[in-house]
Structure 1
Amino acid sequence: MVLFGFFALVLVSVYWVNRAVILFDRLIADGHSAGVFVEFTALSLPNVIRMVLPMAAFAAAVYVTNRLSADSELTVVQATGYSPWRLARPVLMFGLVIALMMSTLTHFLVPASLGQLRERETEISGSVSARLLREGVFLHPVSDVTFYIREISVDGELSDVYLSDRRQPDRSVTYTAERAYILRDDAGPKLVMVSGLAQTMTYKTRRLSTTNFKDFSYDISALIAQAGTPTPRVKHMSTIDLLTRTSEMATLAKDTNGEVLEEAHGRIQQAFLCVVAALIGFSTLMIGGFSRFGVTRQIVLAIFLLVLVKLAESAVTDPVRENAALWPLIYVPSLVGFALAGGLLYSAARPFKRRRRAVPEVPA
C-alpha cells in the first residue's frame, strides 16, 4: 500500500498541476482571489484521484512483482510449491481494497464535489467584483464594451472611470467620470457615474456630440453573467437515483435513459477495473520467470493489455448511450480483463515446455 500511495501521489500531482494551470488562468484572469482558486482545486481533486487509482494500482503491482522477480524471491517461493494462483491472492486482496476506495469516490465523493463545483461556478459567474472591479486594467466583459478604473478606494468609490459601449450598429458612446459607484436595485446592478462626460459618435453622419453630466446611471446587468439555477447533470446525481429513477433523472438532466444507465453502471465498473489493473500487472510478469535481462517485455505486454481493456471500455460506451437495454455491455471490459489475467495465470501455472530434439545415436 505504501508503493500504491507513492504512485497515486505522483499521478495525482501530474494531473493536478495540469488542472491547476487551467484553473489559475481562468479564475485569476477574471479577478477572483487565491481562495477561490484553492477551493476550486480542492473540489476537483476527488475526480482526479478517481482517474488515477487504476493506474496507480497497476504501477504498484508491476513494481512489486518486478522486485520480487529480480531478487529471485518469486523463484524461491514457487520452488516451495506455491502456484501462481496462490501467489495472486494477495494481489486480488490489494485490488479489492483499491476497488473499495474507488467505490467510495465514484458513488459519494465525486458526484458531491462536482455538484458543488458547478454551483460555485454559477455563483462566481455573476460576481460584479470579479468581472468589473479591477484597478488599472482595461476589461472587456462583453463584446464591444471596454471598461477601465484607475483606482478603487477602501469605501468602494471608483476613481477615473472609462466606459466605451460600441454595441449599437449606428453609434458608439464613451463615458468618462471622475467618480463612480456600483449600486444594486431590483432591476440589477447599476453604475452611477458622477461629474463626467458622455461622447456619442454617429457613424452615418460622422458627428461627435458631447454631454456633460453631474450624475448618470448606467445599467451594467448585461455586462455580468447572471447566476441562475443550473441544469442538473447525471454526473452530479447519486447512483441509487440513477438506477431506481432512471427516466425521471433522464428528464431532469435532459439526457437519454442510456446515458443515465451508462453513468450509473460505469461507476460500478470503475471499481472492477482497479482489480483488473492489479491482476494484469501481476499475472503478466509471472509468465516470464526469472531472467537476468529483466522483465521489460512483460511490462510492455502488461501495458498493452491494459490499453486493450480501456479500448473495450470506450467501444461499449456509445452503444449503451444509444440503447439503454444494452447496459450489461458496460461490464464487458472488466470481464475481458479478468479473462486475460486468468489466462496469463493459467499459462504461468502450466508453462509450455518445448520438446527437445532427440539426438541421433552415433553408431560405434
Structure 2
Amino acid sequence: MTLIDRYLFRQIGFPVLGAVAALTAVAMLSQSLNNLEVIVERGQSAWTLTKITLLATPQLVGVILPIGIFVGALLGLNRLHTEQEIVVCYAGGLSRWRVINPAVRLAVLAALLALVISLFLQPWAARQMRQELFSIRHDAASTLVREGEFVQASDDLTVYVARVDQNGLLRDVYIHLDEPGGATVYDAAEGRITERDGRPVLLMNNGSQQEFSGSGVLNFLAFDQYVLDLGPHVQTDEPLNFKDSDRWLHELIFPNLDIPFERHNRLTTLAEGHARIAAPLYSIAFMLLALNAVLGGGFSRRGYGRRIAWHAAGAAVVRITGFGVLAACSTNGWLNILQYAVPIGTIIWASRALFRQKIQRYIPLASDRNELVPALT
C-alpha cells in the first residue's frame, strides 16, 4: 500500500477496532450477568464465570462484527470528510476506488476473520462452554449443597449445610439417608466434597453416625473422619447434547440421518450451516453502506446526519431480514439461497450507488490561484 492508502486504512481501522471492542465489552457484560447464577446458585468460583463468558465471546463477536464495522467506519469516514481530507484526496487526482480501497480491504479482512471464527473458533468455544455448563449442572457439590437450605438430592438423601466457605469447605453438615434396613443420620463439624476413583464422595470430619434399624435398635458411632459415597445419589443418565451453534460445519451440512433427532431437525441444521458461511458477507455489506452514507453524496459542512440515519436504518433492516430468512429456512431448505442473496444484494446496491455519484474536484482559476471552482468529472 502507498502512504495515502496506509493513512486512510489507519484512520478507518482504529475507529472500527474501537467500536467492535466497545460493543463486545457490553455484550460480554450482559453475558456475564446472565451467567451470574453460576456463582450465586451453584456455588462456583469467579474464574468459572469468567471462563464461561470468554468461551461465549466468539459467538458474540460474530454477531457484533458487522455492526462494529458500520459504526466505526462511519466515525472514521465522517471525520475524514468533514475535515475535507477526502476532498484533498480527490483534488490530488485519486479516483473514488483509490479512496475507498483501504476501507474495502479492511472489510474483506474482517470478513475472513469472521469466517474463521464462524467455522472453527465458535464451535470449539461453544462445545467447551456446553461441557463446562453440563459439568456444573451435574457437579456433586452444586447439586447437593445450598447454604442454609435442606436439599432433597434424591428420594433417599437429604443434605443440609449451614455455611460454605470460599475454599469449598462445608460447615455443620447434616445428612439424612433412607436405606432398606432403616434410616441413617450423619452430622459433622465440617466436610468437603471431592472425588476418589472417579466417584464423588463426601469427606466428613469430627462427626457422628446414628443408624436406626427397622427392628428399633439405635446404633451410634462417633468418628474423626468418615467417607460417604455420593455416586449412587448424583448419577444421571442425561446425555450431553450439543446445540446447532456448537456443531462443526460438516455436522451441520451432512448430519447423521440414521439418528431420528438429526433426521427430524435436518432443515434447521442445514440453515445454521449456510448462515455460518453467509454471515461474513455482512461485514463487506455494512462497510459499503457506511461508505455510501458518507461518500455517496455531495460535500456538506453541516454534516451528513440525515444520510447516515437512512443508511443506519437500512443496515438494521438488512440484518433483521437476514435473521428472518434464517428462521424461515428451518421449514424450507430452498430459502437458504436468500441467506446469500440478502448480503450480496446489499453489496451490489451499495456499490452501484457509491460509484454512480460523481466526484467533485476543484481546480484553480488561472486569474486567481486562491479561488477554487468546482468541476464535475
TM-score of the alignment, normalized to the shorter chain, above 0.5 = yes
Q: Distance in 2 between matches of 1:109 and 1:65?
A: 31
Give the 5 Å matches for 1:112-261: 112-133=124-145, 137-138=148-149, 140=151, 147-150=159-162, 160-162=172-174, 177-178=187-188, 195=208, 214=221, 224=234, 226=236, 228-243=238-253, 245-246=254-255, 248=257, 253=262, 255-261=264-270
Q: Distance in 2 between matches of 1:341 and 1:33?
A: 49
Which string of whole-angstrom CA distances, capped at 9 and with x for unpartnered residues, describes residues 76-124 of structure 1? 3334454444433222211100001101100000001101111121122
Q: Aligned to 1:24, which of 12, 32, 36? A: 36
Q: Give the letter for the 1:310 counterpart.
A: R
Q: Which residue of 2 aligns with 1:74?
A: 86
- Range that drifts further, 95-104 or 220-229: 220-229
Q: Give the letter for the 2:148 counterpart.
A: V
Q: Distance in 2 between matches of 1:250 and 1:346?
A: 52
Q: Which residue of 2 aligns with 1:349?
A: 358
Q: Give the letter for the 1:9 counterpart.
A: A
CA RMSD of aligned residues (A): 4.0
Where 2:35 maps in the other structure, the secondary structure is helix
Q: Which residue of 1 aligns with 2:346?
A: 337
Going from structure 1 to structure 2, the CA distance change for 1:344 and 1:146 (only over 3 Å counts) comes to: farther
Q: Which residue of 2 aligns with 1:206?
A: none
Where 1:259 maps in the other structure, the secondary structure is helix
Going from structure 1 to structure 2, the CA distance change for 1:152 and 1:92 (only over 3 Å counts) comes to: closer
5+ residue gaps in structure 1? 166-172, 200-208, 352-364
Q: Which residue of 1 aligns with 2:372?
A: none
Which one scores higher on RCO, CA 8 angstroms, separation ≥ 6?
1
TM-score (norm 2): 0.73
Shift of 1:281: 0.6
Q: Give the letter for the 1:138 counterpart.
A: E
Q: Which residue of 2 aligns with 1:272?
A: 281
Where 2:301 maps in the other structure, the secondary structure is coil
Q: Which residue of 2 aligns with 1:263?
A: 272
Q: Distance in 1 between matches of 2:209 and 2:164?
A: 17
Q: Give the letter for the 1:232 counterpart.
A: F
CA contact (8 A) 1:277 1:306 kept: yes
Shift of 1:325: 3.0
- Range that drifts further, 80-89 or 276-285: 80-89
Q: Which residue of 2 aligns with 1:285?
A: 294
Q: Give the letter for the 2:250 counterpart.
A: I
Shift of 1:125: 1.8
The alignment of Structure 1 onto Structure 2 pairs a total of residues equal to 332
Q: Distance in 2 between matches of 1:3 and 1:224?
A: 51
Q: Which residue of 2 aligns with 1:202?
A: none
CA contact (8 A) 1:284 1:299 kept: yes
Going from structure 1 to structure 2, the CA distance change for 1:46 and 1:197 (only over 3 Å counts) comes to: same
Q: Distance in 1 between matches of 2:154 and 2:240?
A: 24
Q: Distance in 1 between matches of 2:194 and 2:110?
A: 53
CA contact (8 A) 2:27 2:60 kept: yes
Q: Distance in 1 between matches of 2:249 and 2:128?
A: 17
Which string of whole-angstrom CA distances, capped at 9 and with x for unpartnered residues, describes residues 269-327 of structure 1? 11101111111011121133222211111221121110121122123123321122332
Q: Distance in 2 between matches of 1:43 and 1:27?
A: 17
Going from structure 1 to structure 2, the CA distance change for 1:86 and 1:242 (only over 3 Å counts) comes to: same
Q: Distance in 1 between matches of 2:233 and 2:23?
A: 40
CA contact (8 A) 1:28 1:34 kept: no
Q: Distance in 2 between matches of 1:183 and 1:14?
A: 37
Q: Which residue of 2 aligns with 1:105?
A: 117
- Range that drifts further, 218-227 or 116-125: 218-227
Q: Aligned to 2:315, which of 306, 319, 329? A: 306
Q: Which residue of 2 aligns with 1:169?
A: none
Going from structure 1 to structure 2, the CA distance change for 1:31 and 1:254 (only over 3 Å counts) comes to: farther
Shift of 1:336: 2.8
Q: Distance in 2 between matches of 1:158 and 1:318?
A: 48
Q: Aligned to 2:66, which of 30, 54, 61? A: 54
- Range that drifts further, 108-117 or 298-307: 298-307
Shift of 1:140: 4.1
Q: Aligned to 2:23, which of 11, 36, 39? A: 11
Going from structure 1 to structure 2, the CA distance change for 1:159 and 1:313 (only over 3 Å counts) comes to: closer
Where 1:349 maps in the other structure, the secondary structure is coil
CA contact (8 A) 2:151 2:158 kept: yes
CA contact (8 A) 1:258 1:327 kept: no
Where 1:10 maps in the other structure, the secondary structure is helix
Identity %: 23
Q: Give the letter for the 2:88 counterpart.
A: V
5+ residue gaps in structure 2? 1-12, 178-182, 361-377
CA contact (8 A) 1:50 1:105 kept: yes
CA contact (8 A) 2:293 2:307 kept: yes
CA contact (8 A) 2:32 2:50 kept: no
TM-score (norm 1): 0.75
Q: Distance in 2 between matches of 1:295 and 1:250?
A: 56
